[in-house]
Structure 1
Amino acid sequence: MTAPVPGWLTDLATDPDRHPLPPWMRPLDGRGRAAAVLLLFGESAAGPDILLIQRSARGRNHAGQPAFPGGGIDPEDGGPVGAALREAEEETGLEPDGVRVVGTLPELYLGRSDNRVTPVLGWWHTPCAVHAASPDEVESVARVPIAELVDPENRLRLRFPGGHAGPAFRVRGMLVWGFTAGILDIVLTATGFARPWDGSQVEDLPPEVIRLARR
Protein backbone atom coordinates (compact mmCIF):
# COMPACT_ATOMS: atom_id res chain seq x y z
CA MET A 1 0.00 0.00 0.00
CA THR A 2 1.44 3.37 -1.02
CA ALA A 3 1.38 6.36 1.33
CA PRO A 4 -1.00 9.16 0.25
CA VAL A 5 0.31 12.69 -0.23
CA PRO A 6 -0.15 14.60 3.06
CA GLY A 7 -2.21 17.76 3.09
CA TRP A 8 0.67 19.96 4.29
CA LEU A 9 2.68 19.09 1.18
CA THR A 10 -0.27 19.59 -1.16
CA ASP A 11 -0.91 22.99 0.42
CA LEU A 12 2.72 24.01 -0.07
CA ALA A 13 2.60 23.05 -3.74
CA THR A 14 -0.72 24.82 -4.29
CA ASP A 15 0.39 28.17 -2.86
CA PRO A 16 4.20 28.30 -2.94
CA ASP A 17 4.44 32.11 -3.17
CA ARG A 18 2.89 32.92 0.19
CA HIS A 19 6.26 33.01 1.94
CA PRO A 20 8.61 35.68 0.52
CA LEU A 21 12.20 34.78 -0.31
CA PRO A 22 15.09 36.56 1.40
CA PRO A 23 16.93 38.90 -0.98
CA TRP A 24 19.98 36.64 -1.32
CA MET A 25 17.82 33.81 -2.67
CA ARG A 26 16.02 35.81 -5.36
CA PRO A 27 17.06 35.06 -8.94
CA LEU A 28 18.74 37.76 -11.01
CA ASP A 29 17.15 38.39 -14.39
CA GLY A 30 18.63 36.14 -17.05
CA ARG A 31 21.62 35.09 -15.01
CA GLY A 32 22.77 31.57 -14.27
CA ARG A 33 22.37 28.07 -15.61
CA ALA A 34 18.98 26.39 -15.19
CA ALA A 35 19.10 23.70 -12.49
CA ALA A 36 16.75 21.76 -10.24
CA VAL A 37 16.82 20.05 -6.85
CA LEU A 38 14.48 17.43 -5.43
CA LEU A 39 12.85 18.09 -2.07
CA LEU A 40 11.76 14.51 -1.45
CA PHE A 41 9.52 14.00 1.55
CA GLY A 42 8.52 10.62 2.89
CA GLU A 43 7.11 8.90 5.97
CA SER A 44 9.04 6.57 8.26
CA ALA A 45 8.76 5.25 11.79
CA ALA A 46 10.18 8.60 12.95
CA GLY A 47 7.43 10.54 11.13
CA PRO A 48 7.80 12.76 8.06
CA ASP A 49 11.33 13.04 6.71
CA ILE A 50 13.31 14.52 3.84
CA LEU A 51 16.16 13.14 1.74
CA LEU A 52 19.52 14.92 2.02
CA ILE A 53 22.93 14.13 0.58
CA GLN A 54 26.42 15.06 1.77
CA ARG A 55 28.45 16.17 -1.22
CA SER A 56 31.93 14.75 -1.68
CA ALA A 57 34.84 16.84 -0.47
CA ARG A 58 36.39 16.14 -3.90
CA GLY A 59 33.63 17.99 -5.74
CA ARG A 60 34.15 21.18 -7.72
CA ASN A 61 31.15 23.14 -6.39
CA HIS A 62 29.75 23.06 -2.85
CA ALA A 63 32.34 20.46 -1.80
CA GLY A 64 31.51 18.66 1.43
CA GLN A 65 28.18 20.42 1.87
CA PRO A 66 24.83 18.82 2.71
CA ALA A 67 22.35 19.40 -0.10
CA PHE A 68 19.24 18.19 -1.85
CA PRO A 69 19.81 15.82 -4.77
CA GLY A 70 19.96 17.80 -7.99
CA GLY A 71 21.97 19.51 -10.68
CA GLY A 72 21.85 21.22 -14.05
CA ILE A 73 18.94 20.77 -16.42
CA ASP A 74 19.97 18.99 -19.63
CA PRO A 75 17.97 19.38 -22.88
CA GLU A 76 16.77 15.77 -22.74
CA ASP A 77 15.34 16.25 -19.21
CA GLY A 78 12.37 18.20 -20.50
CA GLY A 79 12.54 20.65 -17.61
CA PRO A 80 13.13 20.84 -13.84
CA VAL A 81 11.07 17.78 -12.88
CA GLY A 82 12.94 15.45 -15.22
CA ALA A 83 16.29 16.89 -14.15
CA ALA A 84 15.55 16.57 -10.42
CA LEU A 85 14.47 12.94 -10.74
CA ARG A 86 17.39 12.02 -13.01
CA GLU A 87 19.95 13.60 -10.71
CA ALA A 88 18.41 11.97 -7.64
CA GLU A 89 18.57 8.58 -9.35
CA GLU A 90 22.20 9.11 -10.37
CA GLU A 91 23.28 10.40 -6.96
CA THR A 92 21.29 8.19 -4.57
CA GLY A 93 19.96 5.21 -6.54
CA LEU A 94 16.41 6.52 -6.09
CA GLU A 95 13.72 4.71 -8.07
CA PRO A 96 11.72 7.54 -9.74
CA ASP A 97 8.61 5.35 -10.06
CA GLY A 98 8.29 5.51 -6.28
CA VAL A 99 7.99 9.30 -6.31
CA ARG A 100 4.94 11.44 -7.00
CA VAL A 101 5.85 14.97 -8.05
CA VAL A 102 3.48 17.34 -6.26
CA GLY A 103 4.67 20.67 -7.68
CA THR A 104 7.53 23.16 -7.73
CA LEU A 105 8.63 26.17 -5.72
CA PRO A 106 9.66 29.53 -7.23
CA GLU A 107 13.04 29.63 -8.91
CA LEU A 108 15.95 30.56 -6.64
CA TYR A 109 19.43 31.87 -7.37
CA LEU A 110 22.56 30.10 -6.11
CA GLY A 111 25.39 32.55 -6.56
CA ARG A 112 28.33 30.28 -5.72
CA SER A 113 27.69 28.06 -8.75
CA ASP A 114 25.72 30.68 -10.74
CA ASN A 115 22.61 28.48 -11.00
CA ARG A 116 18.93 29.35 -11.23
CA VAL A 117 17.45 26.52 -9.19
CA THR A 118 13.88 25.21 -9.29
CA PRO A 119 13.00 23.18 -6.17
CA VAL A 120 10.80 20.21 -7.13
CA LEU A 121 8.45 18.91 -4.43
CA GLY A 122 8.18 15.13 -4.33
CA TRP A 123 6.32 12.61 -2.17
CA TRP A 124 8.05 9.27 -1.65
CA HIS A 125 4.97 7.07 -1.73
CA THR A 126 6.98 3.87 -2.23
CA PRO A 127 10.41 4.28 -0.59
CA CYS A 128 13.42 2.28 -1.73
CA ALA A 129 16.93 1.82 -0.38
CA VAL A 130 19.24 4.73 -1.22
CA HIS A 131 22.99 5.14 -1.04
CA ALA A 132 25.88 7.23 -2.33
CA ALA A 133 25.50 6.00 -5.91
CA SER A 134 28.02 8.46 -7.34
CA PRO A 135 30.98 8.48 -4.92
CA ASP A 136 32.84 11.19 -6.83
CA GLU A 137 29.91 13.54 -6.18
CA VAL A 138 28.18 12.19 -3.08
CA GLU A 139 29.73 11.04 0.19
CA SER A 140 26.58 9.91 2.00
CA VAL A 141 22.79 9.90 1.85
CA ALA A 142 20.33 10.28 4.75
CA ARG A 143 16.61 10.39 5.38
CA VAL A 144 16.41 13.15 8.00
CA PRO A 145 13.26 13.24 10.17
CA ILE A 146 11.47 16.59 10.21
CA ALA A 147 11.27 16.25 14.01
CA GLU A 148 15.06 16.44 14.20
CA LEU A 149 15.26 19.46 11.90
CA VAL A 150 12.75 21.46 13.97
CA ASP A 151 14.20 20.45 17.34
CA PRO A 152 15.40 23.75 18.87
CA GLU A 153 18.54 21.97 20.11
CA ASN A 154 19.52 21.31 16.48
CA ARG A 155 19.00 24.85 15.19
CA LEU A 156 21.43 27.76 15.05
CA ARG A 157 22.58 30.62 12.86
CA LEU A 158 25.96 30.68 11.15
CA ARG A 159 27.94 33.80 10.38
CA PHE A 160 29.62 33.82 6.96
CA PRO A 161 33.00 35.54 6.36
CA GLY A 162 31.21 38.58 4.89
CA GLY A 163 29.28 39.09 8.13
CA HIS A 164 25.88 37.79 6.99
CA ALA A 165 24.30 35.16 9.26
CA GLY A 166 21.82 32.54 8.06
CA PRO A 167 19.90 29.56 9.44
CA ALA A 168 21.63 26.23 9.98
CA PHE A 169 20.90 22.77 11.37
CA ARG A 170 22.98 20.10 13.12
CA VAL A 171 21.44 16.73 12.25
CA ARG A 172 22.70 13.21 11.62
CA GLY A 173 26.33 14.30 11.91
CA MET A 174 25.84 17.02 9.27
CA LEU A 175 26.08 20.78 9.52
CA VAL A 176 23.41 21.98 7.10
CA TRP A 177 23.90 25.61 6.09
CA GLY A 178 23.72 28.09 3.21
CA PHE A 179 21.30 27.56 0.33
CA THR A 180 19.99 24.20 1.59
CA ALA A 181 19.37 25.46 5.12
CA GLY A 182 17.65 28.56 3.75
CA ILE A 183 15.19 26.45 1.76
CA LEU A 184 14.58 24.14 4.72
CA ASP A 185 13.91 27.12 6.97
CA ILE A 186 11.31 28.50 4.55
CA VAL A 187 9.64 25.13 3.92
CA LEU A 188 9.46 24.13 7.59
CA THR A 189 7.77 27.43 8.38
CA ALA A 190 5.40 27.21 5.42
CA THR A 191 4.28 23.69 6.31
CA GLY A 192 3.70 24.52 9.97
CA PHE A 193 6.37 22.17 11.31
CA ALA A 194 8.70 24.89 12.62
CA ARG A 195 9.08 25.28 16.38
CA PRO A 196 10.30 28.35 18.29
CA TRP A 197 14.08 28.39 18.68
CA ASP A 198 16.77 30.77 19.89
CA GLY A 199 17.81 32.72 16.80
CA SER A 200 20.30 34.72 18.86
CA GLN A 201 22.65 31.74 18.90
CA VAL A 202 25.16 32.69 16.20
CA GLU A 203 28.39 30.84 15.45
CA ASP A 204 31.09 31.45 12.89
CA LEU A 205 31.18 29.12 9.91
CA PRO A 206 33.88 26.53 10.76
CA PRO A 207 37.23 27.13 9.01
CA GLU A 208 37.24 23.68 7.38
CA VAL A 209 33.82 24.37 5.87
CA ILE A 210 35.01 27.73 4.52
CA ARG A 211 38.09 26.07 3.04
CA LEU A 212 36.02 23.53 1.10
CA ALA A 213 33.48 26.15 0.02
CA ARG A 214 36.23 28.34 -1.48
CA ARG A 215 37.76 25.59 -3.59
Structure 2
Amino acid sequence: MHPSPDGPLADLEALAARSLDWSSTRIRSLPDAGHARHAAVLVLFGVLDDVPAATGGRVPQDLDVLLVRRASTLGSHPGQIAFPGGRLDETDADATAAALREAVEETGVDPGGVRTLGTLPEIPLAVSNHLVTPVLAWWTRPSEVVAIDHAETVEVFRVPVAELVHPANRAVTVHGEYRMPAFTVGGRLVWGFTALVLARLFDELGWAEPWDQDRVVQPDS
Protein backbone atom coordinates (compact mmCIF):
# COMPACT_ATOMS: atom_id res chain seq x y z
CA MET A 1 0.00 0.00 0.00
CA HIS A 2 1.24 3.51 -0.86
CA PRO A 3 0.54 6.64 1.19
CA SER A 4 -2.71 8.30 0.20
CA PRO A 5 -2.52 11.69 -1.52
CA ASP A 6 -5.32 12.70 0.86
CA GLY A 7 -3.02 12.29 3.85
CA PRO A 8 -2.47 10.11 6.93
CA LEU A 9 -6.07 10.20 8.12
CA ALA A 10 -7.24 8.74 4.81
CA ASP A 11 -4.55 6.06 5.12
CA LEU A 12 -5.74 5.12 8.61
CA GLU A 13 -9.40 5.11 7.62
CA ALA A 14 -8.62 2.79 4.72
CA LEU A 15 -6.65 0.45 6.97
CA ALA A 16 -9.41 0.36 9.57
CA ALA A 17 -11.94 -0.53 6.88
CA ARG A 18 -10.12 -3.62 5.69
CA SER A 19 -9.02 -6.79 7.42
CA LEU A 20 -5.46 -6.87 8.72
CA ASP A 21 -3.87 -10.30 9.05
CA TRP A 22 -1.21 -10.65 11.76
CA SER A 23 -0.25 -14.17 10.69
CA SER A 24 2.81 -12.97 8.76
CA THR A 25 4.18 -11.44 11.96
CA ARG A 26 6.14 -13.79 14.21
CA ILE A 27 4.19 -13.60 17.45
CA ARG A 28 4.60 -16.02 20.34
CA SER A 29 1.65 -18.25 21.19
CA LEU A 30 -0.20 -17.72 24.43
CA PRO A 31 0.85 -20.06 27.25
CA ASP A 32 -2.77 -20.52 28.38
CA ALA A 33 -5.12 -19.35 25.64
CA GLY A 34 -8.17 -20.70 27.47
CA HIS A 35 -7.60 -18.27 30.33
CA ALA A 36 -6.24 -15.33 28.35
CA ARG A 37 -7.29 -11.90 29.57
CA HIS A 38 -8.60 -9.31 27.13
CA ALA A 39 -7.11 -5.85 26.83
CA ALA A 40 -7.17 -2.91 24.43
CA VAL A 41 -4.78 -0.11 23.53
CA LEU A 42 -5.44 3.25 21.90
CA VAL A 43 -3.20 3.89 18.88
CA LEU A 44 -3.84 7.62 18.66
CA PHE A 45 -2.38 9.61 15.76
CA GLY A 46 -2.66 13.35 15.37
CA VAL A 47 -1.05 16.54 14.09
CA LEU A 48 0.30 19.49 16.03
CA ASP A 49 -1.91 22.16 14.43
CA ASP A 50 -4.04 23.04 11.40
CA VAL A 51 -1.12 24.45 9.41
CA PRO A 52 -0.06 21.96 6.69
CA ALA A 53 3.44 20.66 7.28
CA ALA A 54 6.12 19.85 4.75
CA THR A 55 6.24 16.15 4.00
CA GLY A 56 9.97 15.64 3.58
CA GLY A 57 9.30 11.91 3.42
CA ARG A 58 6.36 9.54 3.35
CA VAL A 59 4.50 11.28 6.19
CA PRO A 60 4.10 14.94 7.20
CA GLN A 61 6.65 16.22 9.69
CA ASP A 62 3.97 17.14 12.24
CA LEU A 63 2.20 13.77 12.33
CA ASP A 64 2.69 12.05 15.67
CA VAL A 65 1.48 9.19 17.85
CA LEU A 66 0.72 9.21 21.57
CA LEU A 67 2.83 6.93 23.80
CA VAL A 68 3.39 6.46 27.51
CA ARG A 69 6.15 5.03 29.68
CA ARG A 70 4.96 2.48 32.20
CA ALA A 71 6.09 2.67 35.81
CA SER A 72 9.14 0.54 36.62
CA THR A 73 7.30 -0.94 39.62
CA LEU A 74 4.56 -2.60 37.59
CA GLY A 75 4.43 -6.38 37.53
CA SER A 76 4.20 -6.68 33.73
CA HIS A 77 6.17 -4.74 31.12
CA PRO A 78 7.78 -2.44 33.75
CA GLY A 79 9.37 0.70 32.41
CA GLN A 80 8.43 -0.03 28.81
CA ILE A 81 7.09 2.49 26.34
CA ALA A 82 3.55 1.57 25.39
CA PHE A 83 0.27 2.74 23.99
CA PRO A 84 -2.30 3.93 26.54
CA GLY A 85 -4.51 0.98 27.40
CA GLY A 86 -5.28 -1.89 29.72
CA ARG A 87 -7.64 -4.71 30.52
CA LEU A 88 -11.30 -4.69 29.63
CA ASP A 89 -13.61 -4.11 32.59
CA GLU A 90 -17.10 -5.57 32.94
CA THR A 91 -18.45 -2.03 32.55
CA ASP A 92 -16.76 -1.52 29.18
CA ALA A 93 -19.09 -1.92 26.22
CA ASP A 94 -16.26 -3.17 24.00
CA ALA A 95 -12.55 -2.87 23.29
CA THR A 96 -12.94 0.67 21.94
CA ALA A 97 -14.62 1.82 25.14
CA ALA A 98 -11.90 0.16 27.21
CA ALA A 99 -9.08 1.77 25.22
CA LEU A 100 -10.64 5.22 25.55
CA ARG A 101 -11.31 4.80 29.26
CA GLU A 102 -7.77 3.66 29.94
CA ALA A 103 -6.31 6.51 27.87
CA VAL A 104 -8.32 9.04 29.86
CA GLU A 105 -7.25 7.47 33.16
CA GLU A 106 -3.58 7.33 32.17
CA THR A 107 -3.10 10.57 30.23
CA GLY A 108 -6.10 12.83 30.85
CA VAL A 109 -6.80 13.04 27.12
CA ASP A 110 -10.16 14.63 26.31
CA PRO A 111 -12.20 11.82 24.70
CA GLY A 112 -14.37 14.41 22.99
CA GLY A 113 -11.44 15.24 20.76
CA VAL A 114 -10.70 11.63 19.84
CA ARG A 115 -12.29 10.00 16.82
CA THR A 116 -12.01 6.22 16.84
CA LEU A 117 -11.59 4.73 13.37
CA GLY A 118 -11.92 1.02 14.08
CA THR A 119 -10.28 -1.96 15.71
CA LEU A 120 -7.58 -4.28 14.45
CA PRO A 121 -7.62 -8.03 15.16
CA GLU A 122 -6.53 -9.17 18.60
CA ILE A 123 -2.83 -9.82 19.09
CA PRO A 124 -1.58 -12.43 21.58
CA LEU A 125 0.82 -11.07 24.21
CA ALA A 126 2.47 -14.18 25.56
CA VAL A 127 4.50 -12.71 28.41
CA SER A 128 1.34 -11.64 30.27
CA ASN A 129 -1.18 -14.03 28.62
CA HIS A 130 -3.32 -11.27 27.13
CA LEU A 131 -5.23 -10.86 23.89
CA VAL A 132 -4.84 -7.21 22.98
CA THR A 133 -7.05 -5.26 20.58
CA PRO A 134 -5.41 -2.18 18.99
CA VAL A 135 -7.94 0.62 18.50
CA LEU A 136 -6.99 3.05 15.73
CA ALA A 137 -7.90 6.66 16.48
CA TRP A 138 -7.38 10.20 15.23
CA TRP A 139 -6.93 13.29 17.38
CA THR A 140 -9.49 15.72 15.93
CA ARG A 141 -8.92 18.22 18.75
CA PRO A 142 -5.65 17.65 20.63
CA SER A 143 -5.80 18.26 24.36
CA GLU A 144 -3.22 18.51 27.09
CA VAL A 145 -1.92 15.13 28.26
CA VAL A 146 0.11 14.23 31.34
CA ALA A 147 0.84 11.19 33.48
CA ILE A 148 -2.15 10.99 35.84
CA ASP A 149 -1.30 8.04 38.10
CA HIS A 150 2.46 7.69 38.57
CA ALA A 151 1.95 4.22 40.01
CA GLU A 152 1.10 3.13 36.47
CA THR A 153 2.41 5.78 34.06
CA VAL A 154 5.43 8.02 34.62
CA GLU A 155 5.65 9.78 31.26
CA VAL A 156 3.30 10.75 28.43
CA PHE A 157 4.63 12.05 25.14
CA ARG A 158 3.90 12.53 21.44
CA VAL A 159 6.44 11.00 19.06
CA PRO A 160 6.78 12.29 15.48
CA VAL A 161 6.01 9.48 13.06
CA ALA A 162 8.62 10.83 10.63
CA GLU A 163 11.28 10.15 13.27
CA LEU A 164 9.98 6.64 13.94
CA VAL A 165 10.11 5.68 10.26
CA HIS A 166 13.50 7.30 9.65
CA PRO A 167 15.93 4.48 8.74
CA ALA A 168 18.51 5.65 11.30
CA ASN A 169 15.97 5.06 14.09
CA ARG A 170 14.94 1.54 13.08
CA ALA A 171 16.45 -1.63 14.62
CA VAL A 172 15.58 -5.07 15.95
CA THR A 173 15.78 -6.73 19.35
CA VAL A 174 16.73 -10.39 19.60
CA HIS A 175 15.16 -12.75 22.13
CA GLY A 176 16.21 -16.32 21.44
CA GLU A 177 14.79 -17.25 18.05
CA TYR A 178 12.65 -14.13 17.90
CA ARG A 179 13.78 -10.97 16.14
CA MET A 180 11.40 -8.13 16.86
CA PRO A 181 11.26 -4.57 15.50
CA ALA A 182 12.43 -1.66 17.61
CA PHE A 183 12.75 2.12 17.35
CA THR A 184 15.36 4.40 18.91
CA VAL A 185 14.05 7.97 19.07
CA GLY A 186 15.10 10.85 21.30
CA GLY A 187 17.09 8.64 23.63
CA ARG A 188 14.13 6.28 24.07
CA LEU A 189 13.88 2.66 23.00
CA VAL A 190 10.48 1.50 21.77
CA TRP A 191 10.42 -2.28 21.58
CA GLY A 192 8.24 -5.31 22.30
CA PHE A 193 4.52 -5.25 21.59
CA THR A 194 4.37 -1.52 20.90
CA ALA A 195 7.17 -1.60 18.34
CA LEU A 196 5.68 -4.67 16.67
CA VAL A 197 2.33 -2.92 16.19
CA LEU A 198 3.91 0.31 14.96
CA ALA A 199 6.22 -1.49 12.52
CA ARG A 200 3.37 -3.52 11.05
CA LEU A 201 1.16 -0.45 10.74
CA PHE A 202 3.88 1.54 8.99
CA ASP A 203 4.37 -1.32 6.53
CA GLU A 204 0.65 -1.69 5.86
CA LEU A 205 0.12 2.06 5.53
CA GLY A 206 3.00 2.48 3.10
CA TRP A 207 4.77 4.84 5.50
CA ALA A 208 7.86 2.67 6.13
CA GLU A 209 11.20 3.40 4.49
CA PRO A 210 13.98 0.87 3.74
CA TRP A 211 16.17 0.32 6.82
CA ASP A 212 19.03 -1.85 8.07
CA GLN A 213 17.36 -4.95 9.51
CA ASP A 214 20.70 -6.21 10.80
CA ARG A 215 20.98 -3.35 13.29
CA VAL A 216 20.45 -4.90 16.73
CA VAL A 217 19.68 -3.02 19.95
CA GLN A 218 18.76 -4.54 23.29
CA PRO A 219 16.77 -3.18 26.26
CA ASP A 220 18.73 -2.43 29.42
CA SER A 221 16.81 -5.14 31.23
The structure 2 residue matched to 1:16, chosen from 19, 39, 61, is 19
Verify: 1:39 aligned to 2:53, yes or no.
Answer: no
1:86, 1:21 → 2: CA distance? Answer: 31
1:73, 1:139 → 2: CA distance? Answer: 22
Structure 1 counterpart of 2:135, one-letter code: V
Q: Which residue of the partner structure matches residue 108 of structure 1?
A: 123
**How much does 1:29 deviate?**
5.2
User: Any stretches of 5+ residues in structure 2 without a counterpart?
Assistant: 1-6, 50-60
**How much does 1:30 deviate?**
3.7
Q: Which residue of the partner structure matches residue 54 of structure 2?
A: none
1:97, 1:172 → 2: CA distance? Answer: 30
Q: How do residues 139-158 of structure 1 correspond to structure 2 at under 5 angstroms?
A: 139-158=154-173
Verify: 1:73 aligned to 2:88, yes or no.
Answer: yes
Identity score, percent: 44
**How much does 1:61 deviate?**
0.9
2:211, 2:134 → 1: CA distance? Answer: 25
Work out whether residues 122 and 131 of structure 2, in 8 Å CA contact, stay in contact via their aligned partners in 1. yes
Classify the secondary structure of the residue corresponding to 1:120.
Answer: strand
Classify the secondary structure of the residue corresponding to 1:77.
Answer: coil
Verify: 1:171 aligned to 2:174, yes or no.
Answer: no
RMSD: 1.9
**How much does 1:172 deviate?**
2.9
TM-score by length of 2: 0.86
The structure 2 residue matched to 1:180, chosen from 190, 194, 210, is 194
Work out whether residues 19 and 190 of structure 1, in 8 Å CA contact, stay in contact via their aligned partners in 2. no
The structure 2 residue matched to 1:119, chosen from 117, 134, 149, is 134
How many residues are paired up? Answer: 203
**How much does 1:114 deviate?**
0.9
Structure 1 counterpart of 2:204, one-letter code: A
Classify the secondary structure of the residue corresponding to 1:61.
Answer: coil
Q: What stretches of structure 1 move > 2 A for 4+ residues in a row?
A: 18-21, 25-31
1:157, 1:201 → 2: CA distance? Answer: 6
**How much does 1:47 deviate?**
2.0
Structure 1 counterpart of 2:200, one-letter code: I
Structure 1 counterpart of 2:16, one-letter code: A
Work out whether residues 42 and 48 of structure 1, in 8 Å CA contact, stay in contact via their aligned partners in 2. yes
Compared with structure 1, are the counterparts of its residues 102 and 51 closer, same or farther at alpha carbon in structure 2 (3 Å cutoff)? same
Work out whether residues 165 and 202 of structure 1, in 8 Å CA contact, stay in contact via their aligned partners in 2. no
